[in-house]
């Protein structure tokens, strides 16, 4: 007679041995913990494969990607009365991009702590919103819906102290407008040629993720969606790897762009620009304070002459800066 399979211990109906003033939030077994650990390792492997496994393809097709990015160059971009939030302690240097190279970086640039393997190139960006409201929500990374759901302000949720807002005007000679799907189509065509890493094929089969090709970017729509991902920070914070948008920023750097225009994910209908001061190549490109500055603010204009001093290179190791 075949022995009956061992039945799992039921979770519900177990005597609650906690006192009345302690509330049980969740109950799980050691087996559950082991399963979660295994799944976490497998998820890490998937992201490692998507990043490191595709790196040879990105390097091999670097010239193709740069040509695709330059296939439909945008017109120079002028802006006025846009702005950015700066932590109060840094308010005397509002045009410095140093904050973007600390920690994990921003949506389109890579910071010191973005890649645990140490393979990524670190470069700065200056993030600017089209209004005070946009700059505020992008700074605190919170949408109006979240505030309505929780009843808390952005400051409450982020435990931030004082910030300073500055109005800016500028002209970016070489800017990539990723809001226009037509600009992304040539890039997606190159990405569609990427071969699937063998390790990713095995992982997709093991984890029942479907066809591994579906994990790669193959279309302009998918590319734009990934670049506009509201939770892009998950890649560097959870997996210790640059996000797709950060890698795209590096591609724009390769292609010689001085900035990228994109839609705000925190303020519906609003726009932002990430400016790459380390890529300034035109003497017509600049960002400057629109209003009179206090005497303590000595650097009021970011241009090709001042860009290097405002990049924050003093916070980046020489070997991490790349070409």
pLDDT value, residue 41: 83
Domain assignment of residue 246, yes or no: yes
The DSSP bridge pattern shows strands 271-275 and 126-129 to be antiparallel
188: in domain: no
Please report, for residues 40, 51, 107, 179, 232, the alpha-carbon distance to residue 235 in angstroms, rounded to integers and kept in the order given.
13, 10, 11, 22, 6
Q: Is the pLDDT of residue 201 over 90?
A: no
Pairing verdict, β 175-177 and 259-263:
parallel
| HSE-CB for 253 with a 13 A CA cutoff | 23
178 vs 201, higher pLDDT: 178
pLDDT value for 9: 47
Domain assignment present for 17? no
In a domain, 98, yes or no: yes
pLDDT for 162 beyond 70: yes
Confirm whether 107 is domain-assigned: yes
b/e map 268-294, b = 16+ CB within 10 Å: eebbbbbbbbbbbeeeebbbbbeeebe
pLDDT tens digits, 163-175: 899 999 999 999 9
Q: Rounded CA gap, 91 and 99, in Å?
A: 12
The number of distinct structural domains making up the chain is 1
pTM: predicted TM-score of the whole model, two decimal places:
0.84
The values of phi and psi at residue 174, to 5°, are -115, 100
The Cα–Cα gap between 227 and 103 comes to 20
The domain of 266 spans 74-180+220-316
Task: Take residue 73 and report the two structure tokens written for it.
Answer: 């160059």
Q: Is residue 2 part of a domain?
A: no
pLDDT at position 286: 98
The mean pLDDT value of the chain amounts to 87
Within a domain: residue 311?
yes
293 pLDDT more than 60: yes
Q: Is residue 215 part of a domain?
A: no
């Amino acid at each position: 007679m075949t022995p009956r399979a061992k039945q799992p211990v039921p979770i519900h109906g177990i005597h609650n041995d906690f006192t009345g003033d302690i509330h049980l939030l969740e109950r799980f077994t050691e087996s559950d913990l082991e399963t979660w650990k295994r799944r976490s390792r497998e998820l890490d492997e998937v992201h490692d494969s998507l990043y490191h496994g595709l790196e040879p393809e990105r390097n091999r097709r670097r010239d193709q990607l740069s040509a695709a990015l330059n296939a439909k160059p945008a017109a120079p971009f002028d802006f006025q009365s846009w702005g950015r939030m700066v932590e109060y302690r840094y308010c005397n240097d509002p045009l410095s991009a140093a904050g973007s190279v600390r920690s994990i970086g921003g949506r389109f640039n890579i910071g010191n702590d973005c890649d645990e393997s140490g393979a990524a190139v670190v470069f700065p960006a200056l993030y600017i919103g089209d209004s005070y409201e946009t700059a505020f929500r992008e700074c605190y990374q919170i949408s109006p819906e979240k505030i309505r759901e929780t009843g808390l302000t952005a400051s409450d949720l982020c435990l931030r102290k004082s910030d300073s807002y500055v109005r800016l005007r500028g002209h970016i000679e070489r800017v990539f407008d990723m809001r226009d799907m037509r600009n992304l189509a040539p890039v997606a065509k190159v990405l569609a040629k990427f071969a699937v890493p063998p390790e990713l094929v095995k992982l997709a089969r093991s984890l029942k993720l479907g066809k591994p090709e579906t994990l790669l970017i193959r279309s302009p729509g998918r590319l734009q969606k990934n670049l506009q991902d509201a939770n892009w920070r998950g890649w560097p914070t959870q997996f210790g790897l640059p996000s797709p948008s950060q890698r795209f920023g590096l591609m724009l750097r390769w292609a010689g762009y001085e900035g990228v225009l994109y839609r705000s994910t925190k303020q519906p209908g609003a726009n932002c620009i990430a400016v790459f001061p380390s890529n300034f190549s035109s003497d017509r490109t600049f960002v400057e304070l629109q209003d009179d500055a206090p005497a303590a603010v000595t650097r009021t204009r970011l241009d090709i002459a001042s860009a290097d001093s405002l990049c924050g290179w003093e916070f980046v190791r020489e070997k991490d800066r790349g070409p």
